[in-house]
Amino acid sequence: MALTRIGLAGLAVMGQNLALNIAEKGFPISVYNRTTSKVDETVERAKREGNLPVYGFHDPASFVNSIQKPRVIVMLVKAGAPVDQTIDTLSSYMEKGDCIIDGGNEWYENTERREKAMAELGLLYLGMGVSGGEEGARNGPSLMPGGSYEAYKHIEDILLKVAAQVPDSGPCVTYIGKGGSGNFVKMVHNGIEYGDMQLIAEAYDVLKSVGNLSNHELQQAFSEWNKGELLSFLIEITADIFGIKDDKSDGYLVDKVLDKTGMKGTGKWTVQQAAELSVAAPTIASSLDSRFLSGLKEERVRASKVFQSGGFSDILGGQPVDKAKLIDDVRQALYASKICSYAQGMNLIRAKSIEKGWDLKLGELARIWKGGCIIRAIFLDRIKKAYDRNPELPNLLVDPEFAKEIVDRQAAWRRVICLAINHGISTPGMSASLAYFDTYRRESVPANLVQAQRDYFGAHTYERVDMPGSFHTEWFKIAKQSKI
C-alpha cells in the first residue's frame, strides 16, 4: 500500500465524519482507534459512501508508519487525560518534523503545555477548534487552528478543501495565531453559541407563553425570520424543530422534551475567562445561569406550586395580544440582543489576544464563522465589515451600522422585556443584553456611589471628576459628627 497523506486517531462521531470528509476531498487517510471495531466500522462506511480512500489500522505503530513524512496526525479524542494518553501512544513512533493536531474542545493552556512538550521531542503541534457538529465534520466545518505555523503549513492544503466553502468569502479556515489561540477562539465561539441559543429560547417562550402561538405558528414565524436579518443555522433548525410531530404519542416532539439543559463546559470556561480578564459578558453568563437553573427541575416543580397564586398572568388584566405585532417586536428584540452577545464575545477574544500577544484578527474570525459552524449566520458578514471598516473598533455597538440598527430596534426590545416581566416570564439573556447596552451608552453610571461605599468601609480611595489624584475621606467620622 502507498503511504497515505494524513492520519486521524479517535473515531467517535466527529472523528469518523471528519476522516470521511478528508478522504472525499481526495486525500488518502489512515485511521486508528483504541477500540478496533470503530476502525472497521469507519472503513466499511467509507466503502459504502463512494469507496473513499480510508485505510484502517488496529495498532498505533502500523498506523503511524502508514503516513507519508513529515507525518500529520489529527486527534479527535475527549479533552484532558485522553489527549495526553493518545499523544504518548503515537509520539513514541513519530519522528522529528512530524506534526500532531488536537481537534477537540481543549482548554487552551493544555494546548500550550503540549506544544512546548512536543517541541522538546522535535514534533510540531496545533490545537484546532472544529465547529459544525456531525454534519459539519462530514460536509465542511469551520476550522480554527492555532499553534505552530509550520504545522499549519503542512496541512493547509487539506484544511482549505475540507472546511466549509462560502461563495463570497472562501473556505472557513484561517491560521488563528500562536499558542492556544485556536482553542481559545473555539471556546468563545461556543460561549457565543450558548448566548444565541438562550436568546432564541426566550423568543420562543415569549411568543408561546404571552402570545399563545401554536407550534405551527412558531414554525411559520421562525421560517419567516430565517429569510431576513436573522438568517442563520440556529434559526433554521429551530423552525424545523417546531414542525416535527412526536412519533411515540400525539402532538409535537418539542413539547415532550424535558426542560433540562446539558452542557460540556466550554460555556463555563468562557464566563470564567471573562471574569479573569474583567470583560463584561452578561448575556453569555445569563445563558450559563439559565442552564444551571434548568437543571433544578424538581425544585422548580415544587416552587411552581408555592407561587401558583402569584397572579403574574393577571397583572395585565388578560388583555389580548396582537400576535403579528408581538412576532415583529420579538424579532427586533432578538436581533438587538444578539448584537450585544456577539460584542461581548469579540471583546473577550480581543482582551485575551492583547494579554497573550496573539494579534488576532476579529474580522477574519467572523469570516470563518460564516459557514460550517453552529453560529453561522448572515449577521457575521456585517461583523466582518464592521472590523474591516475599523480594525480598532472598541465595541460592535459603536460601529455606525450596528449603532443605527440597535437604535431602530430599541423601542420593540424594551416592549418585549416589559411584557415578559409583567407576565412573569424570565428573559435573562434579552434583559442582560439590554442592561449591557444601557450601561455602555451612558456617560455616567452609579459606580460613583459604589466607589464611595468602598472608600467608606475599606479606605480603598477614589478619584474625582474635577481634579486629578487619589483621595480618601473619613466618611464615618464626618457622618458621626453630623449626627451629634
Distance of CA 145 to the CA centre of its chain: 16
- Known binder of ligand: residue 473? no
- Known binder of ligand: residue 78? yes
Domain shared by 48 and 113, yes or no: yes
Other CB atoms within a 10 A radius of the CB of residue 121 amount to: 15
Final residue before a domain boundary, out of 144, 175, 206: 175
Domain shared by 361 and 295, yes or no: yes
- Known binder of ligand: residue 12? yes
What is the pLDDT, as a whole number, of residue 77?
A: 94
Considering 24, 106, 193, 405, which one is annotated as catalytic?
A: 193
Domain shared by 139 and 153, yes or no: yes
> What's the whole-model pTM score?
0.92
Domain shared by 372 and 284, yes or no: yes
DSSP class per residue in 171-218: ESB---BSTTHHHHHHHHHHHHHHHHHHHHHHHHHHHHHTT---HHHH
Domain shared by 418 and 456, yes or no: no
C-beta of residue 427 within 8 angstroms of C-beta of residue 206: yes
Strand order in the sheet with 99-102: 54-57, 29-32, 6-9, 72-75, 99-102, 124-131, 142-147
Domain shared by 360 and 472, yes or no: no
Domain shared by 270 and 408, yes or no: yes
CATH of the domain at 450: 1.20.5.320
CATH of the domain at 201: 1.10.1040.10
- Known binder of ligand: residue 173? no
- Known binder of ligand: residue 131? yes
Is 186 one of the catalytic residues? Answer: yes
Residue showing cell 465547529:
131
Domain shared by 294 and 409, yes or no: yes
Considering 186, 208, 268, 370, which one is annotated as catalytic?
A: 186
| Residues, the chain | 484
Residue 168 lies in a domain: yes
Count of structural domains, the chain: 3
Domain shared by 118 and 191, yes or no: no
- Work out whether strand 462-463 and strand 170-171 pair parallel, antiparallel, or are unpaired: unpaired
Task: Encode the chain (484 residues) as per-residue pLDDT tens digits.
Answer: 689 999 999 999 999 999 999 999 999 999 999 999 999 999 999 999 999 999 999 999 999 999 999 999 999 999 899 999 999 999 999 999 999 999 998 999 999 999 999 999 999 999 999 998 899 999 999 999 999 999 999 999 999 999 999 998 899 999 999 999 999 999 999 999 999 999 999 999 999 999 999 999 999 999 999 999 999 999 999 999 999 999 999 999 999 999 998 877 888 999 999 999 999 999 999 999 999 999 999 999 999 888 876 655 555 556 778 999 999 999 999 999 999 999 999 999 999 999 999 999 999 999 999 988 888 888 999 999 999 999 999 999 999 999 999 999 999 999 999 999 999 999 999 999 999 999 999 999 999 999 999 999 999 999 999 999 999 999 999 998 887 7
Beta strands in 355-399 (DSSP E): none
Residue 427 lies in a domain: yes
Q: Which domain holds residue 211?
A: 186-441
Domain shared by 366 and 342, yes or no: yes
- Known binder of ligand: residue 77? yes
What is the pLDDT, as a whole number, of residue 262?
A: 82
Is 392 one of the catalytic residues? Answer: no
What is the pLDDT, as a whole number, of residue 457?
A: 94
Q: Which residues contact 287 (CB under 8 A, 6 or more apart)?
A: 194, 195, 197, 198, 199, 267, 428, 429
C-beta of residue 3 within 8 angstroms of C-beta of residue 64: no
